[in-house]
Chain A
Amino acid sequence: MIATEGADLILEWCSLKGVGSRHSFEAACRSVLGPLARPSRLLHELELSGHIEVDWVHSGRWWIAPPVLGFVEGAGGNAVLLGARSPKTMSLLVRLQEVGDIRALTLVPQGPASPTAVFVGVSSIAALTAAGRAIGAEPKTTVRLEYKDALVPLETAVAAGTGEYTSSGIQAKRLNVATLRFEPCEVRFGNWMPGCYEQMSYGLRRYLYVDDQGGLHNVDRWIAVHAEINRAKGSAIGVPNPLSWSLESQSLFCDARAQLPTMWARAAVMCTGLLPIRHVDRADGHYVDEYRGVLGTTYNRIRLTLGYETQRAPTTEKVS
Chain B
Amino acid sequence: MLIGEWNETLLTWFFSRRPLERVYLRIDDGELDRLNAEQGLGLDSPADDLIAAIREEVQGAPSLRWLRRQGDEWRSRSDPDEAPPWLAVLALSVLVVARETERGSLAFYPPFSEALGLSTVLTQVDYEESLYKWWVDLAKWLTHVNEGKRGLPSWRRIPHAGPRCVIGHPYTQVLLRREDSRDIDAFLRSLGQVGPGDLEVTDPATAGADLLRRLRQWAAQRRVSGRLWEILHGTRREASDSLQYMLLDRLLDEVDSTGARGLEREARLAVTLDDWADRRLRFSAIAPVSVGLWESQTLEVDGQMVGPLEEGEPYPTPIPVDATALDNGVSVVAGSDVTLVYRPSDVVALAARDWSMWCSVDDAEAGETVYLLVADTAAARLRRLLDSFGLASIDGVPEGWKLYGPSPLASGDNLDALGLPIRKAWQAVPRLVGGLEVARRSYLVGGPPAVIVPSDDIEMPLRLDGDPLDAALGDASTLDLTSLNLGRGHHQIDVGPYRLTFELHTFDELPIVAETVGRTRLGAFAPVDGGDGEPVFIGAARRPKAAYDPVVLAPIGARMVALGLPGHAAECSAHMGAWAVDAGLPQLVFEPAQGSSYSGGRRPVHPIRWMAVREHPASAWSVTQVQRATEPGQEAEETAASSLARDVVSEIGTAPTVLRDGRPDDSVGAGQGWAEYARSVKAAP
B357 nearest CB across to chain A (Å): 7
Query: Taking A146-B546, A150-B521 as contacts, is the C-beta distance between A77 and B535 under 8 angstroms?
Result: no
* B276 x A50 contact (CB < 8 A): no
Residues from 34 to 64 in A contacting B, C-beta threshold 8 Å: 34-35, 50-61, 63-64
Q: Which of A101-109, A175-183, A237-245 contacts B (4 or more CB under 8 A)?
A: A101-109
Q: Which of B170-178, B318-326, B429-437 contacts A (4 or more CB under 8 A)?
A: B429-437
Q: For A72, what are the chain B residues with a Cβ–Cβ distance below 8 Å?
A: 580
Instruction: Name the residue among A20, A22, A77, A261 with the largest chain B CB count within 10 angstroms.
Output: A77
Q: Which residue of B lies closest to A31 (CB)?
A: B434
Q: Does B449 contact A (CB under 8 A)?
A: yes
* A9 x B393 contact (CB < 8 A): no
Q: For B447, what are the chain A residues with a Cβ–Cβ distance below 8 Å?
A: 9-10, 13, 28, 31-32
Q: For A78, what are the chain B residues with a Cβ–Cβ distance below 8 Å?
A: 580, 585-586, 588
Residues from 125 to 155 in A contacting B, C-beta threshold 8 Å: 125-128, 135-136, 138, 140-143, 145-147, 149-152
Residues from 458 to 512 in B contacting A, C-beta threshold 8 Å: 474-475, 482, 506-512
Fill in one digit per residue for A248-286: 1 if any B CB lies within 8 Å of its CB, else 0: 011100000000011100100010101000000000000
Q: Which of B111-119, B216-224, B537-545, B629-637 contacts A (4 or more CB under 8 A)?
A: B537-545
Q: Does B79 contact A (CB under 8 A)?
A: no
Q: Does A192 contact B (CB under 8 A)?
A: no
Q: For A147, what are the chain B residues with a Cβ–Cβ distance below 8 Å?
A: 537
Fill in one digit per residue for A2-25: 1 if any B CB lies within 8 Å of its CB, else 0: 001100011011011111111110
Q: Does A66 contact B (CB under 8 A)?
A: yes
Residues from 197 to 255 in A contacting B, C-beta threshold 8 Å: 201-204, 206, 218, 220, 223, 249-251
* B583 x A10 contact (CB < 8 A): no
Complex Cα gap A76–B519 (Å)? 30
A16 nearest CB across to chain B (Å): 5
* B587 x A77 contact (CB < 8 A): yes
Query: Taking A124-B663, A160-B524 as contacts, is the C-beta distance between A86 and B511 under 8 angstroms?
Result: yes
Fill in one digit per residue for B357-399: 1 if any A CB lies within 8 Å of its CB, else 0: 1100000000001000000000000000000000001000000
* B662 x A126 contact (CB < 8 A): yes
Query: Taking A32-B436, A57-B356 as contacts, is the C-beta distance between A16 and B551 under 8 angstroms?
Result: no
Q: Which residue of A lies closest to B371 (CB)?
A: A202
B404 nearest CB across to chain A (Å): 14
* A140 x B541 contact (CB < 8 A): yes
* B663 x A126 contact (CB < 8 A): yes
Residues from 149 to 181 in A contacting B, C-beta threshold 8 Å: 149-152, 156-157, 160, 163, 165-166
Q: For B661, what are the chain A residues with a Cβ–Cβ distance below 8 Å?
A: 124-127
Instruction: Name the residue among B356, B514, B661 with the largest chain A CB count within 10 angstroms.
Output: B356
* A122 x B588 contact (CB < 8 A): yes
Interface size on B, residues (CB 8 A): 89
Complex Cα gap A17–B553 (Å)? 36
Q: For B276, what are the chain A residues with a Cβ–Cβ distance below 8 Å?
A: 57, 165, 201, 204, 206, 218
Complex Cα gap A28–B450 (Å)? 10
Fill in one digit per residue for B581-608: 1 if any A CB lies within 8 Å of its CB, else 0: 0111111110101000000000000000
Query: Taking A18-B513, A74-B580, A250-B577 as contacts, is the C-beta distance between A121 and B438 under 8 angstroms?
Result: no
**What would 20 A/B residue contacts be, using CB atoms closer than 8 Å?**
A13-B436, A15-B511, A24-B310, A32-B447, A32-B482, A68-B540, A71-B551, A76-B556, A86-B509, A86-B511, A88-B509, A124-B589, A124-B663, A138-B541, A165-B276, A218-B277, A249-B579, A262-B519, A263-B519, A293-B577
Interface residues of B (CB under 8 A from A): 274-279, 308, 310, 313, 315-316, 352, 354-358, 369, 393, 406, 433-438, 444, 446-450, 474-475, 482, 506-519, 521-525, 535, 537-542, 546, 548, 550-553, 555-556, 574-580, 582-589, 591, 593, 661-663
Interface residues of A (CB under 8 A from B): 4-5, 9-10, 12-13, 15-24, 27-28, 30-32, 34-35, 50-61, 63-68, 70-78, 82-89, 91, 103-104, 106, 108, 117, 119, 121-128, 135-136, 138, 140-143, 145-147, 149-152, 156-157, 160, 163, 165-166, 201-204, 206, 218, 220, 223, 249-251, 261-263, 266, 270, 272, 274, 292-293
